[in-house]
Chains A and B, each alone.
Chain A
Amino acid sequence: MRSKWPIVLVVCVALVLAFGSKAAPKEVKIGVILPLSGPLAPTGKSLREGIELCADVVNNKYPDLKISIAQWEGIPNLGGAKIKLVFADHRADAGWGADQAKRLIRDEKVIGLTGCYNSAVTKTASVEAERAGIPFVNGESTSPALTKRGFKWFWRVTPHETWFTADLFNFLDGLVKGKARGVKAVSKGQIDKLAVATENTEWGAASLKAIEEFAAKHGYKIVEAFKYPHVAADLTSEARRLMASGANTYLFASYLADSILFIKTLKELGASPRLVWGQDAGFVEADFGKTLGSAVNGILTRDLFSPELGNIKPVATQLNKIYKQRAGYDFSGSSARDFVGLQVWAHALNEAKSTDPKAIAKALNALHIPSEELIMPWKGVRFGSPFPGDTQQNELGSGVINQLQGFPGGKYQVVYPFEFATANLMHPFPGWK
């Protein structure tokens, strides 16, 4: 009788190979949808570099970085599987973004998605993830509506506009109360007339709405408010409109190209508001200060990151140094948040110990990343419901307000929260006359 052992052995080996390969994939594919062409291409490039750096830190050993992903060399609980990023360009087009999400899920077989920067695109692309039942972890889109849809497969890491707008008005109130570093109490009458210009996509509209709500609550008057198309050849009329309003405080929600155009035009017209504030986006891009030079000095922007935060978070300085060596410029609030977005993906995969969507979702809902693991000045990452209606929104995030000082070649100095200020506030805004 012939022995059956060889057959049993072959079957065992086959079973081990089959199950072994399923339990420990060599790589996990994550789809990244960003604006890589069109007017937002420079922004998309910086975001891509942030995400790529995070993947590199997860996949390779960085012994000097005192965060856990830097010691992993792959996802430990997935047998050291490497993260493979599959990029797609959404061209700032919500419909195209949704198509790209479908393509990544169906053809590239990604296990989940991240991106898309533009809230409007994140909205449509995340619908595709919801339909397919795969996780979408968003790092940097800030329209409050995104986490108010009750989606089961959508998690947002960044704080949203409601936080930032609250920060702005707390900052203005603090300025009146004399809390700002290096500035005596300012009369409220000097900064209480607001003119608001926001671009006309979902993000701009959400920003305007939040500003209107908080202005009413904090006793500030909106004397002019309008939305404008951010793909514009000229913004002279809009700039004139701001100046004609008699406002002493200008607030913007603008992308890179339109923020540059606005500031150039206001400079050309000799505008002299007492305070200028931008809602992140274009105002925190490296090209903003590089392109406009000294015209940006004194402009405030809500942000989430500053290279100057190194005093509080040494790991932020270390990673920013590596990022700068590769990209040629510092982390922006957006690229730093996208770094964290992928970091959340890595932790979730490690906790899930599987690439099964349900296991990842469970891991994301139970995830808690402490502050010391992050480059952001946050208390950590934990998904919950920080504001009424929010679901699966990181509740431990927070923002900062930076001021551009010393350009060209200057820095984004933290001026709010007042206790974290890295420089004296320049106030009033020097104007462009």
Chain B
Amino acid sequence: METIITAVLVIGTVWGGVIIFIRKAIKFEKNKKEIPE
């Protein structure tokens, strides 16, 4: 049981972090196309 909890916590945090921040980056990138450099 503790193996499953650790796996879910570790994989959830690390890979979850990637998924959340990629989704945010895609969302913000769409808005930024309008900003000139």
Is B a genuine binding partner of A? no
Chain B residues engaging chain A, CB cutoff 8 angstroms: none
Report A's interface with B, CB cutoff 8 A.
none
